[in-house]
Structure 1
C-alpha cells in the first residue's frame, strides 16, 4: 500500500468518525446528568437538513453549521420539556423524537433533494500538511474535525476537572441527594440536554456539509444509534469515545475499500458491518458486568420530580 493510499484511508476514516465522535460526546454529557436521550438520530437528521437548507439559502456553509447546531438544540428542548418538566418516560420520548425528526426532515428537505451542496472547505497549514502519511490527516482537515478534537478535550476537562462537572456527575449518580444539598437538578439536566442536542445537530451538519455535501432523506443512516452505543462502549469516558468513534469509522470505510478492491463479499454484508460491529461490542461489554457498572450513572433514565 502506497503512502498516498494510506493517507487517503486515514482522511476518510477521520471524516466518517467525526460525526460519531461529536454526537457521542454530547450524549455522554447528557447521560452523565442521569438523562437517557434516545433521540440522537432524530436530532442529527434535523441538524443535517437544517444545515444544508441554511447553507443553500444563505450561500454560506458556516451559516449552515450554526443553523444545524440551533436545530439540534431546539429539538432537544422538546425532549427536555417532556421528560424533565412533564416527567414523561425518557425511552418512549426519545424514540418518538427520532421518529418525528426523520419524518419532519424528509418534509423539510424534499425540495432540496438533488441540489448540489456547499462544502465546508478544509483548513490547510502550508508545510505541515506536506508531512508524509500524517500531514493531511492532522493539518489539512475540515474545521469540524478540529472542533471534535477540541470538544473532546473540553468535555474531559469539564467533567473531571471542574466543580460544575462534579455537580453534573453528582446529579447523575443520585439526583435525590443532589437535590437535598440544594443543587438545581432540573436546571442542570436542561443544560446537559441542550448541550447534547447542539452536538447532535453539529454532527448532522457535518454529514450534509462535509461528509457528503448534499441532502438525502434519512442520510444519518443509523449513526445516531451507533453514537448511543459508543457511550456505553466507552464506559462514559471521553477518551474512550474517541477510540470507539475511530474504530467504527474505520469499519464504515472498510466496506467501501473492500468493494473498490473487488473482494468477493456481498455488498449487503459490507453495508451491515458497522451495525454488526456495534452489536458485537455491546454483547462483549454486557458480558462484563463490572466494566458496565463502573461508570454508569446510578440515576440514568430515572425521572426526577422534586415534589415527590
Structure 2
C-alpha cells in the first residue's frame, strides 16, 4: 500500500466515520442525562429516508436535511414521552423504536429504492489548510456535515464540562433528586437531551443518504446505530475520546470496502468475514468495557435507564 492510497483511504474513513460520530455524540448527551436510547438505528433509518425523499421532492438538500431532523425529533419526542413521562422500560421502548423506524422506512421508501435523489452535499475544501500535505486531504477536503461533526465534538465537550446547564444535565444522570432540589427540572432536561440525541441521529441518517451514498436503500444504516451505542461505552461517555473511536470504526468500514482491491492477505479472508469485522469490534469493545466495569466504575451515569419519580426523592 503506497502513501497516496493510504491517504485516500484515511480521507474516506473520516467521511465514513462522520455519521457514527454524529449519532454517538447525540446518544452520549442522552445517556449523560440518565436516559438510554437503544432506538438510534430506527431513528437513523427514518432520517435517511426523510432526507432522501424531501431532497428528491424539493430539489434542495437543505430542505432534505431539515426534514430529516424534524422527523427524527418527532420520534425522539415519542421516546421521551414513553421513558420520561410514563416511565416505560428504556430497553423495551428503544427496541420498539428500532422496529418502528425499520418497518416505516421500508414501507414508505419502497418506491424510492435505488433512485438518484439528484442533489447531494458537495465537498468543500477549506482555504489554505486543505493544502497541508496529507492532513489537508484527509480532514479538510470533506463536506460541510463532516466539518459540523468536528465542531459538535467541541460544542458537546464545552457544554457538558464548562456550562451550568451541562453540569445540571450530568447531575440528572447521576443523582436526579439533587438536581430537583436545587430547582432544575429533571423532566425538562431529559426531554431536551432526548430531542437533541434524536435530531443528531436523524442528521447522521441524512448524512448517509444525501452526503455519502446520495440515494436511499432499505436498511442502509447497516447496524451503524448499534455501533454508535458501542462507541459511547468505548469512549467512557466522554466526547473527545469518542472522536478517536469513531475514526477507528470508520477505517474498519473502508478497509472492508477496499479489501479485495488491496489484495495481499485480504484475499485469504472471506468477504463475509470481513463484513463482520466492525460488529466483531463492537462486541469486543462491549466485552472489554463490561469486564472493566466489574472492577471499577468507567464513566457510566449512576442513574442511567432508571426512571425518576419525583415523589420518591
**Structure 1 and Structure 2 fold alike (TM over 0.5):** yes
Map 1:245-264; keep pairs closer than 5 Å: 245-262=246-263, 263-264=267-268
Q: Deviations over 1:21-67 (max 9, x none)?
A: 00000000000000001111111111000001111011111211111
Match of 2:240 in 1: 239
What secondary structure sits across from 2:268 in the alignment? coil
Unaligned runs of 5+ in 2: none
User: In structure 2, what is the Cα distance between the partners aligned to 1:72 and 1:4?
Assistant: 39
CA RMSD of aligned residues (A): 1.4
User: In structure 2, what is the Cα distance between the partners aligned to 1:28 and 1:126?
Assistant: 32
Q: Deviations over 1:206-252 (max 9, x none)?
A: 00011111100010110000000111111100011101101111111
Q: Is 2:192 the partner of 1:188?
A: no
Map 1:116-127; keep pairs closer than 5 Å: 116-117=116-117, 118-127=119-128
Asked whether the equivalents of residues 36 and 301 of structure 1 are also in contact (C-alpha less than 8 Å), the reply is yes
Q: Is 2:224 the partner of 1:223?
A: yes
What secondary structure sits across from 1:215 in the alignment? coil
Asked whether the equivalents of residues 285 and 291 of structure 1 are also in contact (C-alpha less than 8 Å), the reply is no
Match of 1:266 in 2: 270
Asked whether the equivalents of residues 73 and 198 of structure 1 are also in contact (C-alpha less than 8 Å), the reply is yes
Match of 2:139 in 1: 138
Asked whether the equivalents of residues 144 and 206 of structure 1 are also in contact (C-alpha less than 8 Å), the reply is yes
Q: Is 2:37 the partner of 1:37?
A: yes
User: In structure 1, what is the Cα distance between the partners aligned to 2:106 and 2:8?
Assistant: 32
User: In structure 1, what is the Cα distance between the partners aligned to 2:16 and 2:286?
Assistant: 20
User: In structure 2, what is the Cα distance between the partners aligned to 1:226 and 1:255?
Assistant: 15
Asked whether the equivalents of residues 13 and 250 of structure 2 are also in contact (C-alpha less than 8 Å), the reply is yes
Q: Deviations over 1:157-202 (max 9, x none)?
A: 0000001111111111011222233220000000000000010000
Q: Is 2:93 the partner of 1:97?
A: no
Q: Which of 284, 300, 304 is the equivalent residue of 1:300? A: 304
TM-score (norm 1): 0.96
User: In structure 2, what is the Cα distance between the partners aligned to 1:124 and 1:252?
Assistant: 23
What secondary structure sits across from 1:230 in the alignment? helix
Q: Is 2:154 the partner of 1:153?
A: yes
Shift of the alpha carbon at 1:285?
A: 1.4
Map 1:16-55; keep pairs closer than 5 Å: 16-55=16-55
User: In structure 2, what is the Cα distance between the partners aligned to 1:208 and 1:82?
Assistant: 29
Shift of the alpha carbon at 1:130?
A: 3.5
Shift of the alpha carbon at 1:148?
A: 0.2
Asked whether the equivalents of residues 14 and 139 of structure 2 are also in contact (C-alpha less than 8 Å), the reply is no
Match of 2:107 in 1: 107
User: In structure 2, what is the Cα distance between the partners aligned to 1:201 and 1:289?
Assistant: 30
Q: What is the aligned residue count? A: 308
User: In structure 1, what is the Cα distance between the partners aligned to 2:295 and 2:68?
Assistant: 35
Q: Deviations over 1:62-83 (max 9, x none)?
A: 2111111112111111100111
Shift of the alpha carbon at 1:107?
A: 1.3
Structure-2 change in CA distance of 1:10 and 1:284 (3 Å): same
User: In structure 2, what is the Cα distance between the partners aligned to 1:283 and 1:126?
Assistant: 43
User: In structure 2, what is the Cα distance between the partners aligned to 1:284 and 1:162?
Assistant: 32
Unaligned runs of 5+ in 1: none
Shift of the alpha carbon at 1:126?
A: 4.7
User: In structure 2, what is the Cα distance between the partners aligned to 1:307 and 1:221?
Assistant: 42
Structure-2 change in CA distance of 1:291 and 1:112 (3 Å): farther
